[in-house]
C-alpha cells in the first residue's frame, strides 16, 4: 500500500466530475487500499478519489461505528431530515464550517467484489456519505447551498 498525495483547494482535480468505474480491476482495488491508508494517515473520516487526483467514482469512509466502507459508483437514494454540524475536509486543511446536510441518508454502491450494496447512515456517517459523494461531482462543502458559515477553532 502507498500513501497518496492529497490535493488541496484550488487543484482542478477537485472540481472535475468523476467517471463511472466500468470494471473493478487490480488498479481499482489498489486505489481503495491506498486511499484507506492515506485517509487514516491524515486522520480523516473519508476520502474521495479526486482528492488524490483520480477522476473515478470511488470513496472510502471510516468511522468508529461503521468501520471501513468502500464505495464504487455510489449514489444517494434517500435523504431525510436535516442537521447543521461542523464539517472539515482533508483538501481544505485548517478550515471548517457549519454545513446543512440530511440527518439520514441511504446510499447504493458496488463493493470491491462488484456486489451492489446499500448503506444507511445518520449523523456523522450521513455527513460523510454526502461530503464524499459531493467530491465525485466536483463539489466542496464550502460551496453555496451546503455551507451555512465558516467557523474558527474556538467555536
Active site amino acids? 132
Sign for the pseudo-dihedral over CA of 23, 28, 29, 30: positive
> Strand pairing of 116-122 and 104-110?
antiparallel
CA distance 3 to 13: 18
CA distance 34 to 97: 28
The three cell numbers of residue 24 are 473493478
Q: What is the DSSP-derived secondary structure letter of residue 50?
A: G
The three cell numbers of residue 52 are 488524490
Amino acid at each position: 500500500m502507498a500513501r497518496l498525495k492529497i490535493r488541496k483547494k484550488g487543484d482542478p482535480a477537485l472540481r472535475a466530475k468523476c467517471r463511472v468505474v466500468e470494471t473493478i480491476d487490480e488498479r481499482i482495488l489498489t486505489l481503495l487500499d491506498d486511499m484507506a491508508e492515506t485517509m487514516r494517515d491524515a486522520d480523516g473520516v473519508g476520502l474521495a478519489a479526486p482528492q488524490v487526483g483520480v477522476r473515478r467514482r470511488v470513496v472510502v469512509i471510516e468511522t468508529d461505528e461503521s468501520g471501513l466502507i468502500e464505495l464504487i459508483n455510489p449514489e444517494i437514494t434517500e435523504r431525510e431530515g436535516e442537521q447543521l454540524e461542523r464539517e472539515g475536509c482533508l483538501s481544505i486543511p485548517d478550515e471548517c464550517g457549519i454545513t446543512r446536510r440530511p440527518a439520514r441518508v441511504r446510499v447504493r454502491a458496488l463493493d470491491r467484489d462488484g456486489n451492489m450494496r446499500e448503506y444507511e447512515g445518520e449523523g456523522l456517517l450521513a455527513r460523510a456519505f454526502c461530503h464524499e459523494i459531493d467530491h465525485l461531482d466536483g463539489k466542496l462543502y464550502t460551496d453555496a447551498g451546503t455551507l451555512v458559515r465558516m467557523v474558527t477553532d474556538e467555536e
